[in-house]
Structure 1
């Protein structure tokens, strides 16, 4: 495994634990809402923030594990070398440019939020919105790193005919 794979595996597995936290927050929220009629803007926002963090920080791990969504009409029938070419071209022409633009554009979004000390517009909402917004560039950076790893693995398969053993 490469260093990039290890980083994304560690972050991906750590972010998967946020799913348990999200479920617990939702369960407590539902119990409080339906038994005591207690609702909170902060709990709703926390649910959204946890979901966003899970999605953004887990995307690179999902790509690494080849569990991402793919419209697979022909891909499964391709040889390993042809799959490597598809992965290489797709990564270089689509994934990396998209990640680069999303990363770059999200930096000013996070910076503005931080400088304004942005908080929720809802009464009782969460403070420090820049924290959740910072998962946007972090997630796209990790996804781009995984794209680099995929590119290197594809090149190895194209040039040597098979992937290196882990």
Structure 2
């Protein structure tokens, strides 16, 4: 199971690199647009694609750090045992099924995009839209693996309480 944590960690490094690239891309795009009155549809779309990748690949890491959104006002007041039960329940009945569903359906969307050679409808836009679409099932596969790791850890914690 340590492999899953390592995978999540390395995907976070890749995400950090993409985020730094996104910042540089936005600075370049804004500078060229406002200083030189020239813009690029492809660069704007690339910004959105980088933003998508950053958000998608941050989901599993956020779960790993237990920094995801939840109603902490109630959760904090519960005993460790109740919190662990809530974590196990939410992983089993929310995170895992949703992640599996998105991976299962998402692969079909990527395949359809690839077969159709889907590209941007904007003139000068990016080609190969299947590449950015492939990040969704990949990110949720990573989330699924991280959720399984979390589930194992929570079951162990529950048994020790």
Q: Which category of TM-score, normalised to the shorter sequence, fits these structures?
A: over 0.9
**Residue aligning to 1:56:** 56
Tell me the distance in 2 between the aligned counterparts of 1:80 and 1:55.
30
- Displacement after TM superposition at 1:78 (Å): 2.3
Distance 1:70 1:17 in 2: 28
Output one character per residue of 1:79-109: Cα deviation in whole Å (capped at 9) or x when no partner: 3222211110000011111111111111111
Question: 1:25-67, CA deviations, whole angstroms, 9 ceiling, x for partnerless residues?
Answer: 1000110000111111101100100000011112101110111
Q: Give CA deviations for 1:117-163 in whole Å, capped at 9, x if unaligned.
A: 111111111111111000010011001111101100100001123xx
The match for 2:38 is: 38
Unaligned runs of 5+ in 1: 162-166
- Structure 2: tracts of 5 or more residues without a match: none
Asked if 2 retains the 8 angstrom alpha-carbon contact of 1:22 and 1:50, the reply is yes
1:12 maps to which residue?
12
Q: Is 1:80–1:157's contact at 8 Å kept on the other side of the alignment?
A: no
RMSD in angstroms over aligned alpha carbons?
1.2
Moved >3 Å (runs of 4+): none
Q: 2 CA distance for matches of 1:80 and 1:47?
A: 42
Aligned to 2:145: 145
